[in-house]
Amino acid sequence: MLTTGLPRIPHDGSVTQTPVQGKSILITGGSHGFGEGLARRMAAEGGLVTIADIDEERGQEVAREIGGNFVRTDVTDFESNKHAVAEAASHGGGLDIVILNAGVTSGLGLGDDFDPQRYRKVMAINLDGVVYGVAAAMPTLQARGGGDIIATASMAGIAPTPFDPIYATNKTAVVGLVRSFGLASIAQGVRTNAVCPAFAETRILGPMRQGLVDAGVPLLRVEEVVDVYFDVLASGATAECWFVQPGRPSEPFAFRRAPGPRASDGSIAAAADPQTQFEMERKIKDSR
Ligand SMILES: NC(=O)c1ccc[n+]([C@@H]2O[C@H](COP(=O)([O-])OP(=O)(O)OC[C@H]3O[C@@H](n4cnc5c(N)ncnc54)[C@H](O)[C@@H]3O)[C@@H](O)[C@H]2O)c1
């Protein structure tokens, strides 16, 4: 597997057959699609699953089937996220794994077809939902001595996505959050990563699905995507964004190193090294 050179937080000896056995797990957007697939597989592997979703009827049904817990949650509301965390902690006796997965496409252009209300709504679900989820979960994860946060971003967070630039904007923001906060959260023993799937067979594709099939675009199966969250959990990685593409193994995407400063003689300054930058940022933060 490709390694990104980013730090890792090794698991304690408790990770044996499956990284979810006996763990308390919160999954936003768990009523359908990837979230439902994750809820089913994680519960089957001994996880104590709480589904947090706006679709109450379906979420209750899935929770009942898997012997899990459901909490009606609107991820666009911070209080609702905090309530979901409290419910998961109460169900699972604490909190170990948080999957921030609720999401929608925008269907918005940036011309006559732009609608500020819809824009705010989409950004609130796909971006605020992740930021609020992280902020709501951190104190409870920290109280446990650490854990895992995995956000569902998208290939649209890594590659240009002209058919939905607003979706690309919020997914790129999630990737940015994970790459930065995944380094910051090490201090609390929390690994923060993203899974970035290409097109997959869920209802989010809506009417776009037929066009994709007609154009010969291969679609991922939900199970293939679910596998990658398990790979991420087993990896001990943090601040990584794992792509998921049909027909090839998933890996953390190797972002190109950003240009760093040069010394006056043109030589590469020590501050160009990512580890040095990280240390510098930590000192700046500590001096505040
Ligand atoms: N399917 C794909 O092709 C694809 C590709 C890349 C990334 N993604 C991302 O995967 C994630 C899961 O989507 P999916 O493909 O499983 O679609 P899905 O529509 O099957 O599931 C999305 C879930 O989010 C929930 N949700 C929507 N708004 C919510 C809100 N305000 N509060 C709480 N829950 C809310 C829905 O009820 C649903 O259960 C999304 O973040 C999506 O952007 C999907």
Tens of pLDDT, residues 116-142: 999 999 999 999 999 999 999 999 999
pLDDT of amino acid 248 = 96
Ligand 1 midpoint to CA 10 (Å):
30
70 located within any domain: yes
User: Does residue 251 sit in the same domain as residue 270?
Assistant: no
CATH number of the structural domain spanning residue 142? 3.40.50.720
E strands, the chain, in order: 24-28, 48-53, 69-72, 97-100, 147-152, 190-197, 241-244, 251-252
Q: Which residue has the tokens 């799937």?
A: 197
CA nearest 151: which of 168, 173, 169, 167? 173
Ligand 1 midpoint to CA 144 (Å):
28
79 located within any domain: yes
If one residue of 202, 217, 253 were mutated to test the ligand 1 pocket, choosing by the most ligand atoms within 8 A of its CB, it would be 202
Work out the number of other CB atoms within 10 angstroms of the CB of residue 14: 9
User: Does residue 57 sit in the same domain as residue 93?
Assistant: yes
Q: Which residue has the higher pLDDT, 9 or 157?
A: 157
User: Does residue 162 sit in the same domain as residue 285?
Assistant: no
pLDDT of amino acid 13 = 54
Model's pTM, two decimal places?
Answer: 0.93
Residue 258: band (very low, low, confident or very high) from pLDDT cuts 50, 70, 90: confident
CA distance 73 to 80: 6
16 located within any domain: no
pLDDT of amino acid 164 = 94
Q: Could you tell me whether strands 147-152 and 48-53 are parallel, antiparallel, or unpaired per DSSP bridges? A: unpaired
Query: Per-residue pLDDT for 247 more than 80?
Result: yes
Residue 197: band (very low, low, confident or very high) from pLDDT cuts 50, 70, 90: very high
User: Does residue 44 sit in the same domain as residue 135?
Assistant: yes
Least confident of 89-98, 125-134, 272-281: 272-281
User: Does residue 281 sit in the same domain as residue 220?
Assistant: no
Question: In which domain, by residue range, is 202 found?
Answer: 24-255
Q: What is the number of structural domains in the chain?
A: 2
User: Does residue 190 sit in the same domain as residue 271?
Assistant: no
pLDDT of amino acid 4 = 65
What is the average pLDDT score of the chain? 93
CA 19 to chain centre: 17
Residue 1: band (very low, low, confident or very high) from pLDDT cuts 50, 70, 90: very low
Query: Per-residue pLDDT for 12 more than 90?
Result: no
CA nearest 82: which of 35, 25, 134? 134
193 located within any domain: yes
Atom of ligand 1 nearest to the CA of 80: 32
Query: Per-residue pLDDT for 39 more than 50?
Result: yes
Burial of 45 (0-12, 13-18, 19+ CB in 10 A): middle
101 located within any domain: yes
User: Does residue 181 sit in the same domain as residue 269?
Assistant: no
User: Does residue 237 sit in the same domain as residue 273?
Assistant: no
Active site residue 167: yes
208 located within any domain: yes
User: SS3 of 16, please?
Assistant: coil
User: Does residue 152 sit in the same domain as residue 193?
Assistant: yes
User: Does residue 173 sit in the same domain as residue 41?
Assistant: yes
Beta carbons of 162 and 210 less than 8 angstroms apart: no
Task: Supply the DSSP string of 97-136, one letter for each residue.
Answer: EEEE---------SSTT--HHHHHHHHIIIIIHHHHHHHH
CA nearest 65: which of 86, 80, 82, 51? 51
219 located within any domain: yes
User: Does residue 79 sit in the same domain as residue 198?
Assistant: yes
Mean pLDDT on 184-202? 97
7 located within any domain: no
Q: What is the percent of the chain where pLDDT is above 70? A: 94
Beta carbons of 190 and 237 less than 8 angstroms apart: no
User: Does residue 150 sit in the same domain as residue 268?
Assistant: no
Ligand 1 midpoint to CA 23 (Å):
23
Ligand 1 midpoint to CA 95 (Å):
22
Query: Per-residue pLDDT for 27 more than 80?
Result: yes
Residues with CB under 6 A from ligand 1: 28-29, 31-35, 53-55, 73-76, 101-104, 125, 152, 154, 197, 199-200, 202-205
Mean pLDDT on 13-33? 86
User: SS3 of 217, please?
Assistant: coil
**Which residues, 6 or more positions from 146, have their beta carbon under 8 angstroms from its beta carbon?**
9, 188, 189, 190, 191
